[in-house]
Structure 1
Amino acid sequence: MATTPGLYLKWRAFRELVGMPMPEAEIAFRLFGETKWESSAPKFSKLLYGDYGFSLDTATELAEIVNKRLDVSLRARGLPGLAEPLAPSEFTLPLYDFIRRIQSAARIEDGETLDRAQDALLGDLAPGVNPQGTVRLVIEKFAADRSFDGFLPSGGDGPVVFEAGRHKGRIAVQGIDREPAMAYTLLARDTRPIGHRCWELSWAETILWLPSPSRPRLVEGKLLLMPEAAPVQPKPGRFLATTALLWEADSRRLLDPRGADAEPGALDEEETARFLTNLRRLQRRNAQVVTVSSAEYIVTV
């Protein structure tokens, strides 16, 4: 039975777009048939987060639940019933393909609903936390010949705005006095400023990684996640930057889905979904092992 580490993202998008009044404990009971709802619920959670195998029988039952909800939603809005039911195999589609499929099947065009789904997705893909103490992720903006004084820490008054072709940028962490064992840095791009939700573009256009893990160095009181400022790419939008500083090298095996010996690089969609799950679990298990912070910036052209 194959696992689907990104199923929780698909399920979240489905719920935001269509709604699901059925309690998850009841869904779990239908999928796994335990004697009590309470004993089925953990299995459903493990299924969503890729810890439990996704059998054909389970996928078929879940597709039936989803299709019934889609049909009810359509009819409640005075539309014809579901014309093209979701197939069990479609739970393995790439995330954005799945979201487009649900949006099309449910005929969702309401901007408020689509924005709610976009916000929920970004909340899962950019899991930065409010700054604690003095540790802050900062975005620095540079011109060709000088540095602007106005970098923005997470939790500030508003995002730094870059103009592609005129500015360079650098990401750093302030408020720490030692170097971590390694760092993972992810950028999630909100494309609504250019008139698109993220699933209308490709994954590679909206989810970007600095080569990770990196081993940043402290320079003049800042932990530089980038060795030097780099030109801003001409990709307009709002960018949410998240960095995870890992303080113990041995904990990498609990965080990195590629393994403890993988070379620095970008994580693919499935690896990113699993990484974010591992990160949340590591934070709950031992908050002293990892520090997570976020900031945002805007790129215009």
Structure 2
Amino acid sequence: MASIPNLYLKWRAFRELVGMPRSDAEIGVALFGEDKDGPQKFSKLLYGDYGCSPEIGEALAAVLNRRIETVRQSRGLPRLNRDPFRGSDLDASLHVFLRHLAAAAAVADEEALDRTQQALLGELAPGFGIDGTIRLVVERFFVDRTFAPFLRSGGDGPVVFQVGRHKGQLAVLGVTATPALAYTFVVRDPRPTGHRSWELNWNETLFWLPSPSRPRIVDGALLLMPPSPLSPEPGRFLVTTVLVWEEASRAHLDPRGASAAAADLDEAETSRFLTNLRRLQRRRPATVTVSSAEYSVIL
């Protein structure tokens, strides 16, 4: 009875893309029974704290299928030949799941598609739009001139990079002490290229710097990444860094454990990392600082 760490992302996308008039509490009662633990068990199921048995998986898939059929009928579309989802489909990659969902529900409404995209970005870039004295910045350098920043994000707007012409650097301003650790990743929004995230593979839309890292303060800024060439993927990018101020908090944050080597996190690990992060922010807010910045890449 394995857990599904990214089920909360799938459920959020389902609500945005297709809609669900029933509350999570009502769904929890339907899945787990009338006792008071139903809503709590459903929440734990969504966030990977509760294993998804085959029976519960099939029951949740049936909830999705009934709603999809209702939405199709309301738009005068024919019935599907078979149920679009089975319980085993809940364990698929987020983007595979969303492609299947969008096709089954025949979603063509641009507002719903964009709303879903924004919801996912909000889940995956938790520091975006948060103001504070500690601020992540993206700096642009010409390839042949790396002696000074060209522009800081958060000043005159998002930095625009041209592949082959510019290098990028990530730094944090406003820090007065060196954090124990940093976790840094980038989420790609491909809408400027005419796509949405789920039309691409997961590993084409989310990139990690080897994490955790142990950055140091250089010339008054916490240097996360020195000037480096850009990957040739165009689009809008939201970069997030999580500064961890206490070494002991790593065990509560990193799903790989407190002694994992610096590396990228896969989809399941990233999903669980974000869940752990939000819980740590609620329970021990002084132990982590989250900041995000935006930049764009053109070819």
Tell me if TM exceeds 0.5. yes
Q: Contact 2:128–2:293 (CA<8 Å) still a contact in 1?
A: no
Aligned residue in 2 for 1:168: 167
Instruction: Letter of the 1:256 partner, please give it.
Output: D
Q: Secondary structure at the match of 1:173?
A: strand
Compare 51-60 and 126-135 and name the one that shifted more.
126-135
Q: Contact 1:182–1:246 (CA<8 Å) still a contact in 2?
A: yes
Residue from 216, 219, 244 that aligns with 1:246? 244
Residue 133 of structure 1 and its aligned partner are, at CA, apart by 3.8
Compare 8-17 and 107-116 and name the one that shifted more.
107-116
Aligned residue in 2 for 1:272: 270
How far, CA to CA, are the matches of 1:253 and 1:53 in structure 2?
Answer: 21
Aligned residue in 1 for 2:66: 68
Q: How does 1:1-301 map to 2 (within 5 A)?
A: 1-36=1-36, 39-85=37-83, 86-143=85-142, 144-146=144-146, 147-153=148-154, 156-226=155-225, 228-301=226-299
How far, CA to CA, are the matches of 1:132 and 1:231 in structure 2?
Answer: 28
How far, CA to CA, are the matches of 1:159 and 1:130 in structure 2?
Answer: 13
* Per-residue Cα deviation, 1:104-154 (whole angstroms, up to 9, x for no partner): 11011222211111111111111115444421000000012143442113x
Residue 166 of structure 1 and its aligned partner are, at CA, apart by 0.2
Task: Give aligned-pair identity as a percent.
Answer: 57
Q: Secondary structure at the match of 1:184?
A: strand
How far, CA to CA, are the matches of 1:12 and 1:83 in structure 2?
Answer: 26
How far, CA to CA, are the matches of 2:128 and 2:58 in structure 1?
Answer: 37
How far, CA to CA, are the matches of 1:287 and 1:205 in structure 2?
Answer: 31
Q: Matched residue pairs, number?
A: 296
How far, CA to CA, are the matches of 1:43 and 1:157 in structure 2?
Answer: 46
TM-score calculated relative to the size of structure 1:
0.96
* Per-residue Cα deviation, 1:180-232 (whole angstroms, up to 9, x for no partner): 00000010000011111111111111000000000000011100001x20011
For structure 2, the 5+ residue unaligned runs are none
Compare 141-150 and 271-280 and name the one that shifted more.
141-150
How far, CA to CA, are the matches of 2:280 and 2:163 in structure 1?
Answer: 36
TM-score calculated relative to the size of structure 2:
0.96
Following TM superposition, the consecutive aligned residue runs of length 4 or more in structure 1 with deviations greater than 6 angstroms are: none
Q: Contact 2:128–2:238 (CA<8 Å) still a contact in 1?
A: no
For structure 1, the 5+ residue unaligned runs are none
Q: Contact 1:84–1:105 (CA<8 Å) still a contact in 2?
A: no
Compare 194-203 and 156-165 and name the one that shifted more.
156-165
